[in-house]
Structure 1
């Protein structure tokens, strides 16, 4: 089971400094690791890597291509303990430069969520799922029943 984890998520960005400032405004901590092509942001249990779009393409061995999809094919999510916390972080993200995609609202599945895109177009969902157990540190734990 110890291999069933994500340790780092890399996002391709157009402007490293702008992206780093955005995520710092949301509570991520910029680390001293990195260089002129990549910035590492420490989160609670994982690292967010911000990689210059062209530099990431070169690292992968491909070229930068446009997307035909009207929205990104991946959405990252942060689960919150309450609807109020979803609203707070959504407002904070928009104030830091995010674009509101869908304002937080009750969902068909019994929760509450909204979407924003970061300055580089990466889609984030902020959600309160009353059926998910959050640990004291705010991590989702689907292996234990809610207390």
Structure 2
């Protein structure tokens, strides 16, 4: 059987899990049962977003923890329902402690987006895309045309 075409869990290795738990709580995100300062997760639109100590994740994944947090070249995205929601969500994230990276703006690809970083530098794109469709859980069910 081939590997299924799905994304089930995104795990981010973090240095200060209590700090990140406070940040995501300030966004209003609900932790799943069993979350604590050793591992925590949030069910977001059908995907589990997990935070795990960076050293332990690196050991499992056969990697090394960089000496200082740096941008990995990966962004996570939260798509919103309307173009005007980008600015509202951006402002809410900054109030919760996110670092503003790029102010809301209309993009060449026809949508609108902004970027913030969580307190450890994980980049989040807050985006509105004209062809994005969601189910009642907020899971992406279609994109484009």
Query: If the length of structure 2 is used for normalisation, what is the TM-score?
Result: 0.84
The Cα offsets for residues 45-97 of structure 1, whole Å up to 9 and x where unpaired, read as: 1211101112222232433124797x431111111111221111111111111
Residues of 2 paired with 1:16 and 1:52: CA distance?
Answer: 7
Note the alpha carbon deviations across 1:21-42, whole angstroms, 9 max, x for none.
2112223211232454321223
Cα–Cα, structure 1 residues 51 and 84, in superposed 2: closer, same or farther, change >3 Å?
A: same
* Unpaired stretches in structure 1, ≥5 consecutive residues: none
| Contact persistence 2:13–2:51 (CA under 8 A) | yes
The answer to whether the 8 Å contact 2:115/2:125 transfers is yes
Q: Give the corresponding residue for 2:88.
A: 88
Aligned partners of 2:19 and 2:128: how far apart in 1?
28
* Stretch deviating more after TM superposition (20-29 or 100-109): 20-29
1:8 corresponding residue in structure 2: 9
Q: How many residues align?
A: 144
Q: What's the TM-score, normalizing by structure 1?
A: 0.83
Contact 1:20–1:41 under 8 Å retained in 2? no
1:40 aligns with 41
Give the C-alpha shift of residue 127 in structure 1. 0.6
SS at match of 1:30: coil
Distance 2:86 2:129 in 1: 10
Unaligned runs of 5+ in 2: none
Question: Quick check: 31-40 or 118-127, which moved more?
Answer: 31-40
Q: Which moved more, 1:131-140 or 1:46-55?
A: 131-140
- Aligned-residue CA RMSD (Å): 2.6
